[in-house]
Amino acid sequence: MDDLSTIRSEALDAVQAAADLGALEAARVAVLGKKGSVTGLMKTLGGLAPEQRKEFGARVNQLKGEIEAALDARKGSLSASALEARLASEKIDVTLPARPAAEGSLHPIGQVMDEVGAIFGEMGFTWADGPDIEDDWHNFTALNIPPDHPARQMQDTFYLPPRADGTPMVLRTHTSPVQARTMLSKDVQKRLADGGSLRIIVPGRTFRIDSDATHTPMFHQVEGLVIDRTTHMGHLKGCLVDFCRAFFEVDDLPLRFRPSYFPFTEPSAEVDIGCSWKDGELKIGAGDSWLEILGSGMVHPNVIANCGLDPAVYQGFAFGMGIDRIAMLKYGIPDLRAFFDADLRWLRHYGFSALEAVK
């Protein structure tokens, strides 16, 4: 029992003599480890009389606390010294170039969406969106697509289990349901009633059962809608001419409008852009060929009525195009399926810098 003073003196001397954290840990184990001197004293308490055990146990606990405090103080001192030594020995040459870092790329679809949004934004259009899973009414009926229309058939449309109330559900086959949802908005109807107008573009994913070099089951579209009291076909033509010339960056890009049929517009028109083929390479601009680029037309009166507006008061135009398709045409991408292969080599080639400004 009289060894407490000796153990204390030796332990504190060892702690103060420790030159680094490794030596300090060895000193701790020698005193407080499983086979340490203080631990050995604790093990002897069971063989003492109650009075002796109480007195001796208090002295051992006091010794243990004193040694632990000395260990903590020495550890703090050694850690601070080690950090100072490291800071003194490690230097950074700030004149050296930074280490190269992996640089991400913007996907061409995202880039083209931004370009389209920027061009139509300058024309006063705002961005609208809606759900990918639609009910039958918004996807078909509201847009004047009758029950026997081919777009409703299983070979074109992904049908989903109906809701509990029996409402048929589909993966939207176009972004046009957002047009219906927007026109049905009370805020929009109030704005129109007050003499305002509705001008939206609707970029987003769409789904159809189709897959080849120019079609995929999931693809991207952007549609536009203008509704007011006076808009006419001439405004539609001017809007699309300005867009195509700005997007393809050809100031004198020729366009032609061909009569067509869409259930949700009347009259309807396909829009072609001028191009030429030389040695199998497509060049957009003046030439002796035409390339279909989008569909358009004046919004059908039935659609306006289905969306809670009076077709005798309101009219407008709509248009739609494939974002993937115009991306392929502008940036020379030959196969639509590569958009969705998640091939980093392809993305590094066709992708865009995250810092590149949208033109």
Q: How far is CA 17 from CA 8, 32, 84, 359, in A?
A: 14, 17, 20, 70
The whole-angstrom separation of Cα 282 and Cα 262 is: 28
Is 266 annotated in a binding site? The answer is yes
The whole-angstrom separation of Cα 240 and Cα 201 is: 13
Residues within the annotated binding site? 266
Residues within the annotated binding site for Mg(2+)? 266
